[in-house]
Amino acid sequence: MENWGLIMIGSQQLFYNRHIAGPAEKRVTFEVLAHEIAHQWFGNLVTMKWWNNLWLNEGFATMMAHKAVLELFGPMSNAKSVAQSMRDDQVNSAFPISRPDKPSFDPDDQFRTQYTKPSILMMATENLVGKETFRAGVSRLLKQFAYKNVDHTDLMEALTYAHDSSAGNHFAGQSFSLNDFISTWIYQPGFPLLNVTEREPGVHVVSQIAFRYLTSKGRIDRHRQWKVPIFLRHPITKAKELKWLLENETMAVDLNDDYVLDYFGSNLFRVIYTEKHYSSIIERLHTFPHEIPEQMRSRLVDDSFTFAEHDLISYNVPWNITAYIAVEKFEAIHGPATIFSAHMDFVISRLRPHENFDVVIKYLHVVFGHWFNQCNRAIFGNDESSTSYVACEVIYKRLCTYGYSNCIEMAVKEVEKLMVNCADDHLSSSCNHIPQIVRMPIYAAISKYGDERFFSFLYEKFITETYSAEKGKLWEGLAGSLRSEDIHRLWYYFLFKNRLSEPFRMRCVDYSKHYHFKTHLISFIKKYLEKMLVELAQDEISFILQVLSRSLFRQEEIPEFKEVFDKASEKFPALSARLKSYIDRVTDVHKWRDRNGENIIGNISQVLDGLNKRILIQIK
């Protein structure tokens, strides 16, 4: 947290050592330091007047953190955080960034909208008025209100003054101000869905509706509208042009050779196209992908999966879009691969029990397997200059935890070396030559597909490890084991021997990432429930049961889960109120699988056939 002259940061976020930490830890260090240092200006030097403008503190600090990460990892390094912000903001329980009625504002309710969304809005505003103008406006605000309090109108006045004093004409011919534009984004939740339809060849019409969703289908809030800045390319000069889509209006555009509406990637909205237009985009992605900007290739992946998840388009669209990753340039796979992997969590968690789930795994192997050897050359060659260094972390995780043979062979070879070189030392020491970025995937692959001796070796190293980041990698890897005795052994040590020294919630969440077809956690809980109820607190029991509920995929598992839950509720009656929501989730997943499973598997099979043929043609 930030204080005047004293910034308090946990040691894990403050220190980065490339020999014992990977890119993920490096990113966290940059983000946290940049965020907290920025508060010396945004929060301390200038402070918001009331909690309804908390976003002025946190949004600007988050923006500076994003800029630090962009400088370090490249232009697509924030793709995942932007996508997560949109997912948070499209749910029915989302709150606006701010409210004009100050007394009724509870900052705890709006906590999730105070960071990334306002930072995206500020970066979009910077893009709108220009970097120099934006910087001049912020500088004016800091000087004018040093050691004072501000609200968002003070910021808008400073930015407007800087804009009007420059050569900017972004509001020329419009009947609204910069403040009016910002107000439509901070005082209402969610964001617009831009619908692109073809009126005649070469001419497309754009309209907007608010996009929110329920757990099973899309919901439209037609009364919410925004002032939406859209940057297009001039059809001849290719210069950047600004057009405004205003409330309750439509806009005609010529997409010419751009194929996508938001060519420069504002990250303020989602865009949905017709089936015909998606076909054109997919053809372009698979033939000349770099004619569509990198940031928009990531957005196409995110938007199409989001729409398919909620029955707005066929799943055939996102599978075809994502398949292009196999022909992407290595240095440009970070954004699309990261977004695709995030959406695979949704698909895997629902299709895991399907009798043809192996088709999903084959798709992962084909799309990501194309990059396995290239990642090895970059990672084991210590080529940290590669812009896709972080993308390889995603690729390794998906391939190694889902049985990619090349990764399993690599895991056996590397862990056998560890058993010799690190027999008497911690795995965080110099005896371990496995690059940080691939350690957890290797630990997971050997725990899941190797024999018992490998698990036992890593388990003993987990117990004796002193460095928290390495310990976390070991836990997440060990949690992938398919053997019940391994999972029981791991959880017993965690809960009954070392619980107070472990990051409790992090360990529970990391276990749940493996999506086991049969979770051995429930058999462990049944065996040791009495001991758990004596030694664990109510909130610990509650969180474990929540994690367990997210590990269940089949309705036939509900009676066993209910039996455990009822016994726990006898000791902690407050738990009983949560049972219905957990069972409803399992039931909803089952219904979703019955409704969509066969169709999705069929879509993947069709795309996989085509992709295999294209790759074979390239090889020849």
Tokens of 124: 């979009």
State mean pLDDT over 266-272.
88
Strand partners for 242: 231
Q: Is residue 200 predicted with pLDDT exceeding 60? A: yes
Give the per-residue pLDDT at 59.
Answer: 92
Give the per-residue pLDDT at 218.
Answer: 47
On whether the pTM is more than 0.85, the answer is yes
The answer for 166, left when phi > 0, alpha when psi is -120 to 50, beta otherwise, is beta
User: Beta-strand (E) ranges in 113-217?
Assistant: 148-150, 191-200, 203-213
Chain CA centroid to CA 569, Å: 34
The answer for residues whose C-beta is within 8 angstroms of residue 149's C-beta and 6 or more apart is 46, 47, 48, 49
Give the per-residue pLDDT at 92.
Answer: 76
Domain ranges of the chain: 11-186, 191-313, 402-482
Q: Is residue 527 predicted with pLDDT exceeding 90? A: yes
Q: What is the pLDDT of residues 584-609, one digit of tens each?
A: 888 888 888 998 999 999 999 999 88
State mean pLDDT over 225-241.
87
The residue with greater pLDDT, 112 or 453, is: 453
Q: What is the pLDDT of residues 126-181, one digit of tens each?
A: 988 889 999 999 999 999 999 999 988 899 899 988 888 876 666 767 788 888 89
Q: Is residue 210 predicted with pLDDT exceeding 70? A: yes
In this prediction, residue 617 has a pLDDT band, given cuts at 50, 70 and 90, of: very low
Is the distance from CB of 312 to CB of 219 less than 8 angstroms?
Answer: no
Q: What is the pLDDT of residues 399-409, one digit of tens each?
A: 999 999 999 99
Give the per-residue pLDDT at 269.
Answer: 93
Q: Is residue 619 predicted with pLDDT exceeding 80? A: no
State mean pLDDT over 77-102.
80
Which SS3 state, helix, strand or coil, does residue 194 take?
A: strand
CATH topology of domain 11-186: Neutral Protease; domain 2 (1.10.390)
Mean of the per-residue pLDDT values of the chain: 87
Q: Is residue 498 predicted with pLDDT exceeding 90? A: yes
Q: Is residue 458 predicted with pLDDT exceeding 60? A: yes
Q: Is residue 273 predicted with pLDDT exceeding 50? A: yes
Is the distance from CB of 227 to CB of 181 less than 8 angstroms?
Answer: yes
What is the C-alpha radius of gyration for the chain, rounded to an integer number of angstroms? 26
State mean pLDDT over 523-527.
94
Tokens of 76: 């697509």
- What is the architecture of the domain spanning 191-313? Sandwich (2.60)
DSSP secondary structure of 338-351: HHHHHHHHHHHHHH
In this prediction, residue 238 has a pLDDT band, given cuts at 50, 70 and 90, of: confident
> Same fold for the domain at 11-186 and the one at 191-313?
no
Angle (CA) 87-509-70 rounded to 5° is 50
Give the per-residue pLDDT at 347.
Answer: 92
Give the per-residue pLDDT at 271.
Answer: 95
C-alpha to C-alpha distance for 12 and 26, rounded to whole angstroms: 10
User: Beta-strand (E) ranges in 451-547?
Assistant: none
Q: What percentage of residues in the chain have a pLDDT greater than 70?
A: 92
DSSP secondary structure of 79-141: HHHHHHHHHHHTBTT---S--S-GGG--TTTTGGGSSHHHHHHHHHHHHHH-HHHHHHHHHHH
Q: Residue 176: how many CB atoms within 10 A of its CB?
A: 14
Give the per-residue pLDDT at 388.
Answer: 65
| Distance, first Cα to last Cα, the chain | 57
Q: Is residue 564 predicted with pLDDT exceeding 50? A: yes
Give the per-residue pLDDT at 108.
Answer: 64
